[in-house]
Amino acid sequence: MNWIVTVAGLLLIGLIAWFFWGPKKGGSLAETNTSGYQEAKILVKNGYNPSRIVVKSGKPVRFEFTRVETGACDGMVVFPDFEKSATLPEGEKVIVDLPPMKTGSYDFSCQMGMFRGKIIVKD
């Protein structure tokens, strides 16, 4: 009987880990505006939506975050590769500008690392 509870607990832990840190596919393509920025709107609600944004290398990026909930974790977004962060007040649009990037991928997350996103840079 104890082994059933142990196996069920391990399966549940694995499912939770996969949900938060497992691989994500696809991505939303950022649109280029007339000023040359690649723009993407990101809704902050139970994570980042979209959580994967595809941009072209060599062009600056502008994200518009809108937070629609009041969780402890989602009040800030951090871009460690750019040493940049922004506070996300509930119900307000927050603009984050990033410089042109080289081909590759760059992570962003909440300050606790529970909500994660990725910028995919292609040629």
pLDDT of residue 49: 94
Of all residues in the chain, what percent carry a pLDDT higher than 70?
A: 89
What pTM was estimated for this model as a whole?
Answer: 0.75
Cα–Cα dist 59/30, whole Å: 11
pLDDT tops 70 at residue 7:
yes
Spatial contact of 56 and 38, defined as CB atoms under 8 Å apart: yes
Q: How far is CA 110 from CA 8, 50, 95, in A?
A: 30, 14, 16
Between strands 104-110 and 116-122, the pairing is: antiparallel
Spatial contact of 119 and 101, defined as CB atoms under 8 Å apart: yes
Question: Averaged over 1-10, what is the pLDDT?
Answer: 80
Confidence label for 19 from pLDDT (cuts 50, 70 and 90): low
* Least confident range of 1-10, 16-25, 74-83: 16-25
pLDDT tops 70 at residue 102:
yes
pLDDT tops 90 at residue 15:
no
Q: 54 vs 27, which has greater pLDDT?
A: 54
Spatial contact of 39 and 60, defined as CB atoms under 8 Å apart: no
The long-range contacts involving 38-42, CB below 8 angstroms and separated by at least 24 positions, are 38/62, 39/63, 39/64, 40/64, 41/66, 42/66, 42/117
Question: Averaged over 15-39, what is the pLDDT?
Answer: 69
Domains annotated for the chain, with CATH where assigned, are 25-122 (2.60.40.420)
Spatial contact of 82 and 100, defined as CB atoms under 8 Å apart: no
